[in-house]
A and B are shown apart, each in its own frame.
Chain A
Amino acid sequence: MPVTLGSLRPVYVVGVGLHPYQPLSETPYVQLGLSAARDALTDARVPWEFVDSAYVAKALLPMAVGRPMLRHLGATGLPITHVENASASGSAAFRQACMEVACAMSDISFVIGVDKPTALGSRAEMLTGIPNLADDAIVPFTHFALLADAYAQRTGCSFEDIARVAGKNLRNASLNPFAQRRQAKTLDEILGGKKVSGQFTTLQCTPVGEGAAAVVVASEEGLRRAGLGLERAVRITASAARSQRVYTDPTRYDEMLTKETVEAALAQAGVSAGGLDVIELHDAFTVEELEYLEAIGVCGHGQAAGLLKEGAFDIGGRCAVSPSGGLIGMGHPIGPTGIGQIVEITRQLRGEAGVRQHPDAQIGPAHMVGLGAVCFAHVLQSL
């Protein structure tokens, strides 16, 4: 029987930091990354010399971005590993650091995601040598637009109901100084925007930009070594990762894969989907949020749109969904995204989310899907 994260020694998030997500600029990636890195180390009160290992997530920048960036914190000689896993690169890097600390190979590990949309190349799926029909015509927004069309047919909800996801997430993002989109929009403004594919308008799709996110994870031994206690620590009680199988409806793989992965994480943590206080979801396109909430059992099939309309997923509602603004509002710099989710959940569970604070948040999972397709889910819990 494989071991789970929860059965090993406890691992905690002890420090978090961000550089704002923003459109492509002249700022070198090193500056983006160092800003998040120093914030996370300051927040943790852990000196860089105490860090045993570093994981660097990126998907769009060229190879080996870590050392030219991290050397400016002091070239301590620590092991650096780069992780690429499409949209889930940051989530995968976080998982590696958690596992390393849990199995006691490190006491303090550092995770950073940094990216810039400078090297957008072709997707690996196009290089397999297996030509598909019209694959040059079906980009990710059309994949999800087709899912939205099928979802509306299946559940009877309207496209306006689906667009409401963007309304909530842009409202949350307007309260987040690190978000790429910081203006709340009315439903009319969202629906009236430029049409992209199917019923999607631009504000229902995530903006891919640049940014950085960093977290420090530690064992109790690591904290003790740094002269710290558990006062501001948040425990990672589960880590689950899976990849796509063959499903009855292969076009709904994102949803089926999410169901398997998040259910595994919740089971590891011993918590139920109904008991979640706050959740950061992969919402690159509006329809995803509704599909995933149903897939992981936060509500029944076909119920997400109605609950969203009633405010159940607002900050202060039954379960705050993507209080950061999610990918639609906060943005999606790829490498940092999964780590940025951990930053938001940590702030929520510490009660340090300011105007975005969901009352009495104690259990919060983070979920990411990556092209290809891979899925990651982590559960964070307050002590």
Chain B
Amino acid sequence: MRGMRCDACGYVFFPPQNLGCEQCGTTGSALRPCQLVGSGTLMARVTVHLHAKPERPAPFVIGTVRLDDGPVVRMLLDAPPDTLPPIGSPMVAVLSPVASEEGSRVHDLRFSLAQPAPLQE
């Protein structure tokens, strides 16, 4: 995942943009792209039951994840709608294939549990 760092105040943010630092207002070369590790901790998660847009058929799962690099992001989770991962779980970013258009394969950046739950004997 690509984020950005403000050299003037140290703020690390996502999504990347060079319009100006949200914390101190600095613009220009002080805003530098940086790599964010695609791992973090799950802070909240919900199953969305109703959604107006047909291209996102409900139910789907949305989570809030604090990245190990600092920023807090919200995104789709690769999780079944009826068994959500516990809050506090370690999460990793994955590229998840979604309904592909003709002749092309589309991937979505999502978060998934870092370690799958151990299988019950």
Contact = CB atoms under 8 A, between A and B. Distances in A.
A132 interface: yes
Given A133-B73, A137-B56, A146 B45 contact: yes
B64 interface: yes
* B interface secondary structure, majority: strand
Interface string A97-137: 00000000000000000000000000000001011111011
A196 B50 contact: yes
B86 to A, nearest CB: 9
Interface in A153-179: 153
B46 A142 contact: yes
Contacts of B46: 142, 145-146, 148-149, 197-199
Interface string B10-32: 01000101010011000000000
Contacts of A1: none
Nearest to A151: B44
A199 B87 CA distance: 15
B23 A138 contact: no
B53 interface: yes
Given A137-B62, A138-B74, A146-B45, A130 B50 contact: no
A134 B62 contact: yes
Interface in A309-325: none
B23 A246 contact: yes
Contact of B75 (A131, A134, A250): A134
A372 to B, nearest CB: 13
A107 B63 CA distance: 51
Q: How large is the interface on A (under 10, 10 to 19, 20 to 34, 35 or more residues)?
A: 20 to 34
Nearest to A201: B49
Interface in B46-90: 46-53, 55-56, 60, 62-64, 66, 72-76, 87
A197 B74 contact: no
A146 B62 contact: yes
A75 interface: no
A381 B73 CA distance: 42
Nearest to B73: A133
Interface residues of B, number: 32
Which of B22, B43, B53, B74 has the most C-beta atoms of chain A within 10 angstroms of its own C-beta? B74
Q: Among A134, A197, A199, A246, which residue has the most Cβ atoms of chain B within 10 A?
A: A134
B43 A150 contact: yes
Contact of A150 (B19, B44, B52, B62): B44
Given A130-B17, A134-B75, A142-B62, A197 B49 contact: yes
Given A146-B64, A251-B64, A196 B72 contact: no
Contacts of A148: 46
Contacts of B15: 130-133
Nearest to B24: A246
A251 B23 contact: no
A3 interface: no
A145 B24 CA distance: 30
Interface string A213-237: 0000000000000000000000000
B109 interface: yes
A134 B65 CA distance: 13
A37 interface: no
B92 to A, nearest CB: 14
Contact of B51 (A130, A133, A137, A146): A137
Contacts of A150: 43-44, 64, 87
Contact of B74 (A146, A153, A196, A199): A146
A132 B49 CA distance: 22
A132 B23 CA distance: 18
B74 A134 contact: yes
9 contacts: A130-B19, A133-B109, A137-B62, A138-B62, A142-B46, A146-B62, A149-B46, A246-B23, A251-B43
Interface of A: 128, 130-134, 136-139, 142, 145-150, 153, 194-199, 246, 249-251
Interface of B: 11, 15, 17, 19, 22-23, 43-53, 55-56, 60, 62-64, 66, 72-76, 87, 108-109
